[in-house]
Each structure stands twice: as structure tokens, then as C-alpha cells.
Amino acid sequence: MLSMYDEVVGLLVSEGIEFIYTAEKFLIELERKYTKFSSLHFEVTTNEKIAYEMAFATSIVKKSAAFVTTNRSVFESLDPMMSSVYMGVLGGMLIISVRDTEHDLSFLGPFAKIPIIVEGNVKNYRDAISFGMSISKKYEIPVLVELDVTSLPQNINHGIQCEIKQDEKGTRACAEFVKDTTRWAATPNFRYTLHVLLNEKIEKIREEFETYPRNITRINGNTGFITYREAALDLLKDDFSTLFLSTVYPLPKKLVSEFIKEMEEVFILSDPHSVLRFQLQNSREKIKSSLAEKSSFNGAFKKEERIHGYELVRDILGPASSMNMAHGIKKLSPEKNILAVTYEDHFFHSGIPAFINALYNGSDYHLLILCSKRESELVHFMENLDFHNYYFINELSEIERYSDNKRLTVFLKKGGI
């Protein structure tokens, strides 16, 4: 996976992006590699929120920036993302989301009003990045580019061609901050003005998306499929008409309407809760629920995990989210033995308020924190709260002896489960 990120960063650099921020700790090796390029600042930050804010701060002083993340971690940056879309950028800003799991981001389009481009063909990564940056600069708005790597072999060179030139020191253009309180420090009245302006930007971007070359129509019969997943095209082959969309939001309505008019029935091949169906409400008379979509929806929720007398709750909604979910479950069903599972970095990212809340409200769920090197910090924090009901364990099976303990209990374990 490191090689894939290396190639993606190379593409960003070759496109002239000067500042790249990420919170993916395993990319620290790339941070060392790119320090030699005077034309680039590459930084691995503490968490996603900081990484996003650094990229945004860079972009409002007329510098080009990118925030590199995954489709799981992008949600940790939603607070600054929502504001940045309203305020806009000046130098161009990309959110590069590397999709390595089945999590779908398309709903962020209408939710945050952020343009989304999806690309699953490695040969077209450069086109997606270049087009996304051009849209960002032209309309002064962050653009999310999702690079789907779920079907690609890992740890090999994928043949991405990029030319990186090392500039001489001192050649980087000076930053410039334009003071504008109506934009950077907007009151509610100014925010409304920015909201109107944002809606206008979205409609202009929609027109730009109508002619994007990676939106491909193939007519082969009167049964059509609309998708934005490269893998779905392999299922359809040449048996049906297809409309492949790379510009997921805002949807190119004219292109879609023309395709639907040619069809007797239309199916959507997409992820559960995708934004396609939401944006196609005016064409429901022809759109059917595809078997693939039904199948995906039914498999979206896994059965409860049980282990050593506990029901497991994981961080499926973000860092340390298992702690608040465990607290809520115990309040609704006190008889259940709940084990929340989180990581030490997740705990320090978002878990401290959840832990204090559990203490304050007398919650009695059990918490497993998977550690690597910050056990002493965790112990120091808990003891400062006068909490001493914690245990170091070597094997997961050791928690079974505590399953009947009706007190908030913390287990600290190195490694995973």
C-alpha cells in the first residue's frame, strides 16, 4: 500500500501541488523522502482534523494543497471540511481519498456540498487529479477525488507515469492572504450570502461535469445500468447499455437524462445509500432496484460479534465511537455484557470526553484499548481521574474472568485481536 501512496503523491507533485498533508502514520517514510524537494512540503500530522486544517490554511493564502486520507478516515475531518466548502479556497485544494475498503463516500456530496470525482482505473488517476484541481481553482472550492484501489494488487508499481522536477530553493511563489471578513470570519448574514454563492458554484460545476471525458455512455439495447464503480463494468460487459459516471456529485443531469430517455428500464449499480438514487428522484418511473444494490444493502450490517462472554462494539463510526455506543447500549439494555474496542490513538483523538462521560454517568461497560507504545500515558490519564480499575492483559481470553464485573473496567493490550 505504501507504494500506491508514493505513486499518488508523485502525481500530486507532478501536477504542481506544493503542500500535502496527511494523518496516515505509515506514510512517515514518504515524509522523509519528499523533504529533499524544495518545491514540496509533505507532512504527517497528529490526526485528520489537523491535516485538513493545515491544507485549508495553505489554500487560502493562494497556495495549492492536498489532504491525503482514506475513505475510512475522511470522516474525522468533517468539521473543517464543512466550513471550508462555504468559505472556499484561493490556491486550489484537493481531498484525495484512497478507497481501500467498501466504505462509500458519495453521500458527502449533497451533505457537505462538495464536488466528488471517483476514479477506479489507475491509468486515469492523473486525469482525475488534474481535472479536480482545475475545478477547485476555477470555482475556489475544495474538490474530493476518490481513488479506488480495492481491486488493485498491492505493494507493486502500478505504472503511474509522473515527472517530478526538483525546483531550486527560493523559487516557490510567496503566499498572499487577502483579508475579507465576509468570507473568513463570516457572521450568520454573511454565511447566508456564502450559501447562495455555493449553490451557484455547484450548478456551474454541474455544467462542467457534463463534458468530462470519463463519463462514458455505451448504448447496447434498451435496458441500462448507471454506475460509478469500475468493477461493475466487468459484470455488465457488452450485454447492456451503460452510463459510467466519474463525476458523482453534482450529477451531470443532462447526460443522465439523455441516457434514461433512451432506455425502457434503468438499474443503478452502486454502494448502499449511494448518492445516485438521491439525485435521480425525478426519473423514478424508469429506475428499478438492482439485484446488486439489494444484495449490498442486505449485507451492509454484520451480525453481532461475540467473544469470551461479551458483545463487541467497534469504532465503526469514527475514532473511539465504540465508547459512546457501548454507553448507550448499556443504558438501554443493562443486562448485556458490552466490550468496546478502540485503539490508543483513537482514545486520545476522541475518547477522552467519552470516558469522562462514562465515569460521570456511572456506566459499567468494559473497554479494551489496543496499545503499541502509549500505555503509560493512558495509565497516567486514568489515575489522574482517580480511576484504578484497569488491567494489563497479554491474551484476549483473560477478559473472560471479568465479564461479570458490574463496574467500568479497562483492559490494556498490546497488538490487535
Whichever domain contains 403, its CATH number is: 3.40.50.970
Instruction: Please identify, among 263, 298, 333, the residue that sits at the C-terminal boundary of a domain.
Output: 298
Question: Is a pLDDT exceeding 90 seen at residue 355?
Answer: yes
- Cell numbers 447492456 correspond to what residue? 240
pLDDT at 171: 56
Q: Give me the pLDDT at residue 373, please.
A: 86
Same domain, 201 and 279: no
Query: Strand order in 116-119's β-sheet?
Result: 41-44, 19-22, 65-70, 93-99, 143-148, 116-119, 247-249
Residue-wise pLDDT for 179-234, tens only, equals 888 888 878 888 889 999 999 999 999 999 999 999 999 998 888 889 888 877 76
State whether 73 and 220 are in the same domain.
Answer: no
Kindly report the three-state secondary structure assignment for every residue of 345-370: HHHHHHHHHHHHHHHHCCCCCEEEEE
Let me know: does 10 contact 164? Beta carbons within 8 Å.
yes
Structural domains counted in the chain: 3
Nearest to 146 by CA among 248, 45, 55: 248
Asked which of 191, 209, 227 is the last residue of a domain, the reply is 209
Mean pLDDT (the chain, rounded): 85
- The DSSP call for residue 187 is -
Question: Do residues 77 and 123 share a domain?
Answer: yes
Calpha distance 140→60 (Å, rounded): 9
Do the beta carbons of residue 162 and residue 7 sit within 8 Å?
Answer: yes
Q: pLDDT at position 285, please?
A: 53
Highest mean pLDDT among 150-159, 225-234, 265-274, 364-373 belongs to: 364-373
If asked whether residues 90 and 129 sit together in one domain, one would say yes
Q: Count H helices, E strands: the chain?
A: 16, 18
- Alpha-helix runs per DSSP H in 147-282: 181-184, 188-209, 230-236, 253-261, 275-279
The per-residue pLDDT for 211 is 95
Shared domain check, 229 and 142: no
> What gap in Å lies between CA 147 and CA 99, rounded to an integer?
6
Residue 171 gets which letter from DSSP?
-
- Which residue segment(s) compose the domain that 140 sits in? 2-209
Residues 148 and 236 in one domain: no
- Both 204 and 231 in one domain: the answer is no
170 sits in the region (left: phi over 0; alpha: psi -120 to 50; else beta) called: left
| CB 96, CB 165: distance < 8 Å | no
Residues 264 and 350: their CA atoms lie apart, in Å, by 50
For β-strands 265-269 and 65-70, DSSP reports them as: unpaired
Do residues 204 and 264 both lie within one domain? Answer: no
Q: Which CATH number do you get for residue 236?
A: 3.40.50.920
Give the Cα separation of 341 and 366 in Å (integer). 9
Please state, in angstroms and rounded to a whole number, the distance separating the CA atoms of residues 112 and 343.
28
Asked whether residue 402 falls in the same domain as residue 331, the answer is: yes
Same domain membership, residue 129 and residue 50: yes
Q: What pLDDT band is residue 301 in, cutting at 50, 70 and 90? A: very low
**In which residue are the cell numbers 454565511 written?**
191
296 pLDDT above the threshold of 50: no
List Cα–Cα distances, 50 to 24, 43, 58, 109, 320, in angstroms. 12, 11, 12, 22, 17
- Please write the tens of the pLDDT for every residue from 318-334: 788 899 999 999 999 99
Residue among 1, 2, 9, 25 nearest 349 (CA): 25
Based on the domain organization, do 50 and 172 belong to the same domain?
Answer: yes
Q: Give the per-residue pLDDT at 191.
A: 85
At which of 298, 319, 347 does a domain end?
Answer: 298
- Rounded to an integer, the average pLDDT of 260-285 is 75
**Domain shared by 23 and 112, yes or no:** yes
Residue 147: band (very low, low, confident or very high) from pLDDT cuts 50, 70, 90: very high
